[in-house]
Amino acid sequence: MSFRKDSDSVELEDCIRNPGYRDADGGRKAADTPSPEPGQRRDSTAVEQGSEPASKEYQQVKPYAGMPKEVLLLYSSRARYRVPREILFWLSVCCTLALLAVTVTVIALSPRCLSWWQLSPVYQVYPRSFKDSDGDGVGDLKGITEKLGHFEHLNIKSVWISPFYRSPMKDFGYDVEDFRDVDPLFGTMKDFDVLLAEMHDKGLKLIMDFIPNHTSDRHRWFNLSRTRDPLYEDYYVWTDCNKTNPKPNNWVSIFGNSSWTYDDVRGQCYLHQFLKEQPDLNLRNPKVRQEIIDIIHFWLEKGVDGFRMDAVKHILEATHLRDEPQVDPNLPPELVTTEWDLYHDYTTSQVGLHDLLREFRAEMDTYSREPGKYRFMVTESYDYHEVEKTMMYYGTPLITESDFPFNFYLLDLPHNTSGWWAQHLVSLWMANMPRGKWPNWVVGNHDRSRIASSAGRIYVEAINMMLLTLPGTPTTYYGEEIGMENINITQSQIQDPAGKYNASASRDPERSPMQWSGDMNSGFNDKTNITWLPLHPDYETVNVEVQMKDEGSVLSQYKFLNHLRQSELPFQRGWFCYVLADANVFSYLRELDGHKQAYLMVINFGKQSATTDLSSIQELPDQLQVLMSTKPANDGKVFQKSSILTQPGEGLTIRYSTYTRFHQNHGAECYVSEKACYLDTIDILYKC
């Protein structure tokens, strides 16, 4: 191949004409070789097409001499090389474009992957009561590390640990003296680092409790504030008041009586929405906000995976300090002593609260960018009948706040165990949740009676079945997976400050030591004979060890249903539809478009056995086989859909096959967080 200077243009020519080319035997210019006939424009292919014998032609095309095919394929302009080369070139361009188009389409069509906090239940550890490794009668961080196998056994990946910060323990850790230290009762920072590293090794996520509303009165900030250190003077909510009657207004503490306490050192009153040893921080002060953000950074840097934000509705108070309206205007003001006596117009859910939480959230997001490192936020706010206030914590479609606010409504199930009531509580959340958000369900925590005690032992398995088959993230308080019940506490055994104020409000009964085995101290403390609260007397029969060996136990049922929930797409991504509710039974189904298998739950929350007739539901097959009953004898049983029999407290999970979708005909009774369809043939999910 050569260039020929022809008049003023440079033209690609075949090698024979290359005047500058010197062939291998040296000296003779390629231009010396005979030119083609005039008008016979030749390109390299001419070498092939020529009529000369191959050996002669070979001489003429000396420039190619000795070149292997691969090189010719790359550079030769002869058709036999150029054409395949061009074909290959365009083929690879087309393939790349096609691949790109497929990738873009797949990305565009794929529904968002679920994050870790959506896939696994959240398990709450109350560290005082989980496992005591050193025998002082109080659980600790090393104890939690020892028991990580329990979460693996249950396939639980998200663990929320109630506070273990340095604290005088007036409210068992919710009164923080140092947000950057571990209380010696629970161990050391080294123990925490080991716990976190081991959890991460096992694929577990650690959610910390975070308390932005208040500190302990032993916190360094409070001491500096009461002594009017100029930097800390406004760290808390102070106001002038009368020393002998220190009530600048009628506000009351959640634990009862005035939320104001006179401080001798400063000569003013400070606000505490909880104990007097828990002064409220002044989050209107930017310096305080910055302190909180710095602490958030501290723990995120350490690698924690999320925060449960404590008591968020109390974070801000009205600055005008006006009296709150009384629920009963005729009650003499001196009898206003409990939180139920007032409408909390000035002490909860104040304007600016959500901006604050979103500010915290934005800080967390800066740590969420690495793959697999999403930092999760859940908020705690009891808003009772004002469900719309709770929903605000979800944020807006554009600004995320918490990933979800805790849904406490199922804690009311014991008030009226019935199918109607269960459906009502579920729909309270589902009907009010902003579109596209992720639901969640709580059936117990360290502040509320264990549901096994308040609803009744017979409903434990049924409640767990509902918890694990509803759409969204379940939260399980330690011990619920084995059906632990409240302990009875005598007046002299009361530990909880709320109980000291009002015995019936004590939260000790639901905080008894975890029941690991039938051994000494239920395996909670195997070193000495002390436990900070008494054990439940049933621990010899109700414990993890015994239940692991029993396929029909509460624990085994929990494990089975959690596995189902995490492995079956209809539970993770599918539709949730109400099917029926009556005095006894609450029934709903989970289905996914394109997925042959669907699930029907029939749960009897009533007081009587029930025969449920679902024959009017055309989308269901006539015969329904029980995949799992909370009464194991009924596993595998086949029911006609016109008569499904359940005992009180019995829950059935029924698996059936169909491509007829219930939600298509009953849109109003159905909900899905983000629509997805399943393509059976290639086993993928796509947006639809």
Query: Judged by CB under 6 A, does residue 274 bind ligand GLC?
Result: yes
Asked whether the beta carbons of 610 and 627 are under 8 A apart, the reply is no
Binding site partner of 526, from Mg ion, ligand GLC, none, Cβ cut-off 5-8 A by kind: none
DSSP string over 463-510: HHHHHHHSSSEEEEETTGGGT--PPP--GGG---HHHHH-GGG--GGG
For residues 271 and 610, which CB has a smaller minimum distance to Mg ion in the complex? 271
Candidate list 151, 165, 174, 262; residue touching ligand GLC; CB under 6 A:
174
Q: Applying CB under 5 A, which part among 92-100, 120-128, 276-284, 436-444 lies near Mg ion?
A: 276-284
Minimal distance in Å, beta carbon 317 to Mg ion? 6
Measured in whole angstroms, the distance separating CA 45 from the mean position of its chain's CA atoms is 67
**What residue type is assigned to position 316 of the chain?**
L
Q: Which of residues 447-466 bind ligand GLC (CB under 6 A)?
A: 447
Q: Label residue 426 exposed, middle or buried (CB < 10 Å: 0-12, 13-18, 19+).
A: buried
Place of tokens 């990305």: 107
Minimal distance in Å, beta carbon 223 to Mg ion? 19
Active centre residues (catalytic): 310, 380
Binding site partner of 204, from Mg ion, ligand GLC, none, Cβ cut-off 5-8 A by kind: none
Give Dmax over CA atoms of the chain in angstroms.
124
For residues 447 and 635, which CB has a smaller minimum distance to ligand GLC in the complex? 447
For residues 142 and 314, which CB has a smaller minimum distance to Mg ion in the complex? 314
Binding site partner of 308, from ligand GLC, Mg ion, none, Cβ cut-off 5-8 A by kind: none
Binding mask of the shown chain, residues 205 to 244, with x at each position contacting Mg ion by CB under 5 A: --------x-------------------------------
Query: Judged by CB under 6 A, does residue 14 bind ligand GLC?
Result: no
Minimal distance in Å, beta carbon 380 to ligand GLC? 6
Cα separation values, 619 from 588, 595, 600, 615, Å? 13, 14, 11, 10
Residues 6+ apart with CB under 8 A from 255: 274, 275, 497, 498, 501, 505
Query: Judged by CB under 6 A, does residue 217 bind ligand GLC?
Result: no
Asked whether the beta carbons of 269 and 262 are under 8 A apart, the reply is yes
Binding site partner of 508, from Mg ion, ligand GLC, none, Cβ cut-off 5-8 A by kind: none
Q: Which of residues 302-321 bind Mg ion (CB under 5 A)?
A: 314
Dihedral sign, CA of 262, 179, 390, 367?
A: positive
Binding site partner of 406, from ligand GLC, Mg ion, none, Cβ cut-off 5-8 A by kind: none
Binding mask of the shown chain, residues 302 to 321, with x at each position contacting ligand GLC by CB under 6 A: --------xx----------
Size of the site for ligand GLC (CB under 6 A): 9
**Strand extents, DSSP E, 487-584:** 575-581
Q: Applying CB under 5 A, which part among 106-114, 272-280, 326-334, 437-445 lies near Mg ion?
A: 272-280
Query: Judged by CB under 6 A, does residue 477 bind ligand GLC?
Result: no
Q: Which of residues 47-106 bind Mg ion (CB under 5 A)?
A: none
Q: How are the residues of the chain apportioned to helix, strand and coil, as percentages rounded to the nearest 5?
A: 35, 20, 45
Instruction: State how far the Cα of 646 lies from the Cα of 160, in Å rounded to an integer.
Output: 35
Task: Give the DSSP letter of residue 522.
Answer: G
Minimal distance in Å, beta carbon 211 to ligand GLC? 6
Candidate list 13, 23, 209, 280; residue touching Mg ion; CB under 5 A:
280
For residues 142 and 313, which CB has a smaller minimum distance to Mg ion in the complex? 313
Binding site partner of 576, from Mg ion, ligand GLC, none, Cβ cut-off 5-8 A by kind: none
For residues 291 and 508, which CB has a smaller minimum distance to ligand GLC in the complex? 508
Measured in whole angstroms, the distance separating CA 23 from the mean position of its chain's CA atoms is 74
Instruction: State how far the Cα of 498 lies from the Cα of 8, in Å rounded to an integer.
Output: 100
Minimal distance in Å, beta carbon 310 to ligand GLC? 5
Instruction: State how far the Cα of 625 lies from the Cα of 71, in Å rounded to an integer.
Output: 69
Shortest CA distance to 580 belongs to which of 642, 661, 660, 659? 642
Q: Which of residues 373-432 bind ligand GLC (CB under 6 A)?
A: 380
Minimal distance in Å, beta carbon 259 to ligand GLC? 12
For residues 314 and 375, which CB has a smaller minimum distance to Mg ion in the complex? 314
**What residue type is assigned to position 656 of the chain?**
Y
Shortest CA distance to 210 belongs to which of 120, 145, 291, 284? 291
Binding site partner of 310, from ligand GLC, Mg ion, none, Cβ cut-off 5-8 A by kind: ligand GLC
For residues 212 and 649, which CB has a smaller minimum distance to Mg ion in the complex? 212
Minimal distance in Å, beta carbon 162 to ligand GLC? 8
Asked whether the beta carbons of 324 and 342 are under 8 A apart, the reply is yes
Residue 505 region by backbone torsions, left for phi larger than 0, else alpha for psi between -120 and 50, else beta? alpha
Three-class SS of residue 530? coil
Binding site partner of 447, from ligand GLC, Mg ion, none, Cβ cut-off 5-8 A by kind: ligand GLC
Cα separation values, 112 from 35, 403, 570, Å? 68, 15, 15
Residues 6+ apart with CB under 8 A from 181: 165, 166, 189
Query: Judged by CB under 6 A, does residue 171 bind ligand GLC?
Result: yes
Residue 378's H or E segment, with its range, is strand 376-379
Minimal distance in Å, beta carbon 262 to ligand GLC? 21
Minimal distance in Å, beta carbon 173 to Mg ion? 18
Q: Can you give the length of the chain in residues?
A: 688
List of residues contacting ligand GLC (CB under 6 A): 171, 174, 211, 274, 310-311, 380, 446-447
List of residues contacting Mg ion (CB under 5 A): 213, 280, 314
